[in-house]
Amino acid sequence: MADNILITGPSLDPAAARLLVEAGYRPVYVPAYADGNGLIVAMAAADPVGILARMGHVGEAALNAAPRLAVISKHGAGVDNIDVDAASRRGIPVLNAAGANAVSVAEHAIALLFAVSKKVIPLDRGIREGRWEKSGFQGRELAGSVMGLVAFGAIARQTARFAKALGMEVRAHDPFAPADVFAAEGVESVEDLDALFAASDIISLHSPLTPATRHLVNAERLELMKPDAIIINTARGGLIDEAALSAALARARIFGAGLDTFAQEPPPADHPFWSESRLVLSPHIGGVTAAANRRVGIEAAQGIVDILAGRPVPQARIVNRAKLTIPA
């Protein structure tokens, strides 16, 4: 009987699923955002040798229910929905597929920026409700604006290319990116994050969520921003202090924000964001395109197959490599 690979979601791109099957494994799916006891029960029933993590949180209790588990591979870049420390204590490598969805997520960042800056949502709503709000409307031109990128990985670099093509000046803050990466993209490196917030017309977040980056957009940094500044977040919701952002928007401290991610997903029904017209929101779908799903799914599945076969994987893909001994 084939060993199981648990997919924490209801589906996987057919090419990625086929890759697992052809390698001799059986994909087992769980409902979207299965969490807590539901995931533990599914884990115990499947007894998987690998997890392909899509939706919901894979915590220590779930790992305890899978004694044969040998690898976790994230369907994407961010691994904050995986208890990496617990996996590391068990000697389980955690892989990601950073960069495979860069084009799609960067496109979505630009789409959110246009929707916020051009007020597309309220204008569309007005027409549908019988209002013709041309009189008194004043649009906003993005060419010539300064976009500040927080982190400068694959998605941020693709976002920079799109922004520059639209006539924007791009600067970025990333203490871990080498100077030649900034030079290759023609993007100015800004060491002081506060200075980046103060000087930018647009802040686009691309950082992973870590204890150091949690709430990097806080009340203090919002006060530094220009009154017509825009925040875009296609990374992780926890990067923003949502209460502080709600307060800033309520008093028009900044122009608006476009958010694809939230601290709690889905957000609660009483979240203050729902009443804020300066926000454009989407349900964490920046990388959910047919092309990106195929690339990310195949890369995530191939990582599982390679680890289980004892084949080397690029060290940069093993997010907990410093705590493990994995074939190079």
- Work out whether strand 230-233 and strand 71-74 pair parallel, antiparallel, or are unpaired: unpaired
Q: Is 26 assigned a catalytic role?
A: no
**CA separation, residue 255 to residues 10, 123, 158, 226, 244 (Å):** 38, 16, 24, 9, 14
Give the tokens for residue 289. Answer: 């395109």
Question: Which residue of the set 265, 271, 276, 294 is catalytic?
Answer: 265
| Alpha-carbon dihedral 51, 57, 60, 61, rounded to 10 degrees | -90
Task: Please give the full DSSP string across 135-185, using - where no structure is assigned.
Answer: TT------TTPEEEEES-SHHHHHHHHHHHHTT-EEEEE-TTS-HHHHHHH
Question: Which residue of the set 18, 90, 284, 294 is catalytic?
Answer: 284
CA 90 to chain centre: 26
Q: Which residues contact residue 317 at a Cβ distance below 8 angstroms, ignoring those fewer than 6 apart? A: 95, 96, 97, 98, 303
Question: Which residue of the set 54, 157, 221, 236 is catalytic?
Answer: 236
Instruction: Specify whether the CB–CB gap between 125 and 180 falls below 8 A.
Output: no
Q: Is 265 assigned a catalytic role?
A: yes
Query: Cα angle at 222 between 221 and 224, to 5 degrees?
Result: 65
Nearest to 40 by CA among 69, 17, 13: 69
Q: Which residues are catalytic?
A: 236, 265, 284
